[in-house]
């Protein structure tokens, strides 16, 4: 996937795909201009949410997916599409060293898929441990599956308290432990080595929710962390959050195969027991195209750019304010202040969050074009 296409050639492809005749444009509903304006309102100096800046060929990939319309519940009819899917999944399997992988619509699907597999693998246990900062979808998944979720305290860096987890495991060995790489509020990374060791000790399912932090794990400089993550039973990440892809694009990986469902008459082969039914190019073709045209190095470079700008923004806050600043390694910066920044929240510059019961403002560096200085400039009237 490292054979790049010259930028001008790729741009011509995109222009051809989007070159609608003027008579078609004139027939669009009047409201479409408002939708276009809304789509461009959140400029690169806004950082309220995990809204990725799209990689250069994402829109072309979406166009190709819409044109293709293939359904991979019938893969024998779409060999080229299947090849693109498998090549992209192989890229993830290679990095995470997990043998089974599938695309899905998002982390909520993946967390439910993981706990579904865990429950079916061991019906004797019912309790799941996760940090108080885990994603809300974990509680939903446990409720759906009839499992008991116990959330455990976090430290001041929003990380799961390993001592609290060890005490809980001694009292009741768990069915599963959920380890978060990139918490929603701060982007914190739970202690990998310690939790992997505990999961081994109690022979329980270890699921890593890396919906946000997956790209951080893939950086070469984080190879030690990735090596520990490779011990998980399952792991998920959202390229539509951290790899500059359009929604939906999420991937679920597992050490354990997903069972087949019962055969249906209208399908040539039985589908696997995954949450999704029909799916196709919309889940992966933009990512496949970007990996093919840009190569892996582009993603590494842009991820580092996001982290650099996040560190720069935190530094500006620390240098020019007396506010409390909270940082993580995955590209989120939070800060607390008595200033009322509600207008900036309404405008999409920042969002509201909470870290260890402390209300904070949150800046998410999910767009590789977001720069620290313009974002900090929005705060000037409040300094």
> Are 288 and 310 in a shared domain?
no
Flag whether 11 is in a domain. no
Using the predicted structure, report yes or no on whether residue 4 has a pLDDT greater than 60: no
Of 103-107, 152-156, 188-192, 271-275, least confident by mean pLDDT is 271-275
CA angle at 88 for the pair 82 and 91, rounded to the nearest 5°: 140
Q: CA 12 to CA 17: how far, in whole Å?
A: 9
How many other CB atoms sit within 10 Å of the CB of residue 214?
A: 29
| Residue 37, phi then psi, degrees to nearest 5 | -65, -40
> Are 225 and 284 in a shared domain?
yes
The sheet that has 127-131: what strands, in order across it?
100-104, 250-254, 234-237, 205-209, 176-180, 127-131, 148-152
Last residue of a domain, one of 260, 294, 328: 294
Flag whether 302 is in a domain. yes
* Percent of the residues in the chain that have a pLDDT greater than 70, as a whole number: 86
What is the DSSP-derived secondary structure letter of residue 145?
H
Range of the domain at 145: 63-294
In 3-state terms the chain splits into helix, strand, coil percentages (rounded to 5) of 45, 15, 40
Indicate which CATH number applies to the domain containing 217.
3.40.640.10
> Are 148 and 286 in a shared domain?
yes
366, 351, 345: which is closest to 247 by C-alpha? 366
> Are 353 and 259 in a shared domain?
no
- The whole-model pTM stands at 0.89
| Residue 54, phi then psi, degrees to nearest 5 | -70, 135
What is the tally of structural domains in the chain?
A: 2
Q: CA 220 to CA 97: how far, in whole Å?
A: 15
> Are 279 and 359 in a shared domain?
no
Using the predicted structure, report yes or no on whether residue 266 has a pLDDT greater than 80: no
Last residue of a domain, one of 272, 294, 316: 294
Last residue of a domain, one of 250, 279, 294: 294
Per-position DSSP letters for 180-222, written without gaps between them = EBS-TTT--B--HHHHHHHHHHTT-EEEEE-TTTHHHHTSGGG
Residues 6+ apart with CB under 8 A from 336: 323, 324, 326, 358, 359, 360, 361
- Give the residue, 56 or 19, on which the prediction is more confident: 56
Q: CA 300 to CA 293: how far, in whole Å?
A: 14
> Are 199 and 279 in a shared domain?
yes
pLDDT at position 141: 97
Flag whether 91 is in a domain. yes
Chain segment 222-259, per-residue pLDDT in tens: 999 999 999 999 999 999 999 999 999 999 999 998 76
Flag whether 50 is in a domain. no
> Are 275 and 325 in a shared domain?
no
> Are 231 and 248 in a shared domain?
yes
Chain segment 115-140, per-residue pLDDT in tens: 999 999 999 999 999 999 999 999 99
> Are 282 and 309 in a shared domain?
no
- Give the residue, 75 or 370, on which the prediction is more confident: 370
Structure tokens at 113: 């898929």
Average pLDDT of every residue of the chain: 89
Cβ atoms 190, 131 nearer than 8 A = yes
Of 138-142, 212-216, 271-275, least confident by mean pLDDT is 271-275
> Are 354 and 319 in a shared domain?
yes
> Are 222 and 272 in a shared domain?
yes
> Are 68 and 167 in a shared domain?
yes
Q: What crossing angle do the helices spanning 285-294 and 58-68 adopt, rounded to 10°?
A: 130
- The two beta strands, 100-104 and 250-254, are antiparallel
- DSSP 3-state assignment of 54? coil
H-helix or E-strand spanning residue 286: helix 285-294
């Amino acid at each position: 996937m490292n054979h790049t296409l010259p930028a001008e050639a790729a741009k011509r492809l995109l222009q051809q795909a989007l070159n609608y005749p003027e008579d078609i444009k004139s027939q669009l509903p009047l409201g479409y201009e408002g939708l276009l304006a809304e789509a461009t309102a959140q400029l690169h100096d806004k950082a309220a949410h995990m809204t990725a800046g799209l990689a250069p060929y994402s829109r072309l990939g979406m166009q190709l997916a819409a044109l293709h319309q293939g359904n991979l519940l019938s893969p024998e009819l779409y060999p080229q599409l299947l090849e693109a899917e498998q090549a992209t999944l192989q890229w993830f399997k290679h990095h995470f060293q997990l043998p089974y992988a599938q695309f899905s619509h998002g982390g909520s699907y993946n967390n439910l898929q993981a706990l579904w597999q865990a429950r079916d693998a061991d019906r004797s246990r019912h309790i799941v441990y996760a940090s108080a900062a885990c994603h809300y979808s974990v509680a939903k998944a446990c409720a759906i599956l009839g499992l008991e979720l116990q959330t455990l305290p976090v430290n001041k860096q929003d990380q799961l308290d390993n001592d609290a987890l060890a005490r809980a495991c001694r009292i009741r060995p768990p069915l599963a432990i959920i380890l978060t790489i990139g918490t929603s509020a701060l982007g914190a990374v739970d202690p990998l080595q310690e939790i992997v060791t505990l999961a081994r000790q109690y022979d329980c399912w270890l699921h890593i929710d890396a919906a946000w932090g997956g790209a951080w794990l893939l950086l070469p400089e984080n190879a030690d962390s990735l090596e520990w993550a490779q011990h998980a039973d399952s792991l998920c990440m959202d390229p539509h959050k951290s790899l500059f892809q359009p929604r939906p694009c999420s991937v679920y990986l597992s050490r354990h195969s997903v069972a087949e469902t019962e055969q249906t008459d209208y399908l040539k082969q039985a589908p696997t027991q995954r949450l999704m039914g029909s799916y196709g190019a919309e889940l992966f073709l933009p990512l496949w195209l970007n990996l093919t045209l840009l190569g892996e190095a582009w993603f590494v470079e842009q991820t580092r750019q996001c982290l650099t700008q996040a560190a720069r923004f935190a530094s500006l806050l620390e240098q020019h304010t007396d506010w409390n600043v909270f940082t993580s390694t995955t590209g989120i910066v939070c800060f607390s202040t008595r200033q009322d920044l509600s207008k900036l929240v309404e405008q999409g510059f920042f969002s509201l969050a909470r870290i260890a019961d402390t209300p904070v403002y949150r800046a998410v560096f999910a767009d590789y074009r977001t720069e620290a200085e313009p974002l900090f400039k929005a705060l000037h009237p409040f300094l």
